[in-house]
Amino acid sequence: MATSYQGNVSPQVQPTQDAAAGYSIRAISLSDLRDALRLGWDDFMAIPSHAIILCVIYPVLGLVLARAVFGYAVIPLLFPLAAGFALVGPFAALGLYELSSRRERGEEASAWDAFEVLRSPSFGAMLGLGTLLLALFVTWVATAQAIYIALFGYGGATGFQEFMQRVFTTPEGWWLTVVGCGVGFLFALAALCISVVSFPLMLDRHAGALEAMVTSLRVVGRNPVPIAAWGLIVAALLVAGSLPFFLGLAIVIPLLGHATWHLYRKVIAIDPNARPIPPRPPRARKPAADFPANLFPWRRKDDG
């Protein structure tokens, strides 16, 4: 069922118009965040299995790889890994934006439709910004590990209980909490500022990576309080979704992905006189026997 956004944003002040880009930035309120989450939940309930398939893979795979590489040394990195999902989450949710966009237009959304994002003219820009966020994630995890080593040395905790005792009963553990949260906040703030609406904008308007990041910065500058509240909501939901054993992320990440699309719709107003974006040609349905070749549409051109 199509979703209308006319009159759905709190009337505050006139949008900041960018005539060349064909869209403007609205001022939103905290109630708009609640509406975005509600609409995101509606999308998740409408297509839950697809969202779980898309989003449960990368946290589980990350934990398995980390456990295999670090052994018990991964225990001090569990919280940084969970917090780091906020850094790469906007890129990981690309398929969810596609599904929300299709549902908004009143189109049926299937699992295959999530992979239509690969055919977007701006997918290269999305990949570039996603690589930047991934580098930010890796840097954050390395920084968190360096902070832990600086306070506790190279001796890893032999178990989760010992690690928790170190954190909550020693001065080093208190410093770890304060310094780690402070540094993590800076990483999260940087990621939020450059990506709050970047990927939906690239998908919807085929914007370049630089234009999308600048627009996200302008959104933050125009709506500092609502965007700060959005960051707190994301952080709180990710912490809740990390318990137990990150399984809750299978629900939290799809919810946040869909909600981010609706947040984009609320904060970005498309100029009705703007040049329309040419729709992508419909994708021919392929039989299941062609899986996984269907995931790579560019291969069909080479084969032809």
The 3-class secondary structure across 153-211, one letter per residue, is CCCCCCCHHHHHHHHHHCHHHHHHHHHHHHHHHHHHHHHHHHHCCHHHHHHHHCCCHHH
Tell me which amino acid residue 297 is: P
pLDDT at 167: 82
Cis peptide preceding 244, ω within 30 of 0:
yes
Q: What is the average pLDDT across 171-190? A: 90
Q: What is the average pLDDT across 295-301? A: 47
Q: Rounded CA gap, 5 and 269, in Å?
A: 9
Helix, strand or coil for residue 270? strand
What percent of the chain lies above the pLDDT cut of 90?
Answer: 34
Q: Whole-structure pTM over 0.85, yes or no? A: no
Q: Which of 35, 36, 34, 16 is nearest to 26 (CA)?
A: 16
Mean of the per-residue pLDDT values for the chain? 79
Beta strands at 16-18 and 23-25: parallel, antiparallel or unpaired:
antiparallel
Q: Rounded CA gap, 145 and 154, in Å?
A: 10
Inter-residue contact 252 to 33 (CB < 8 Å): no
H or E segment and range at residue 269: strand 268-270
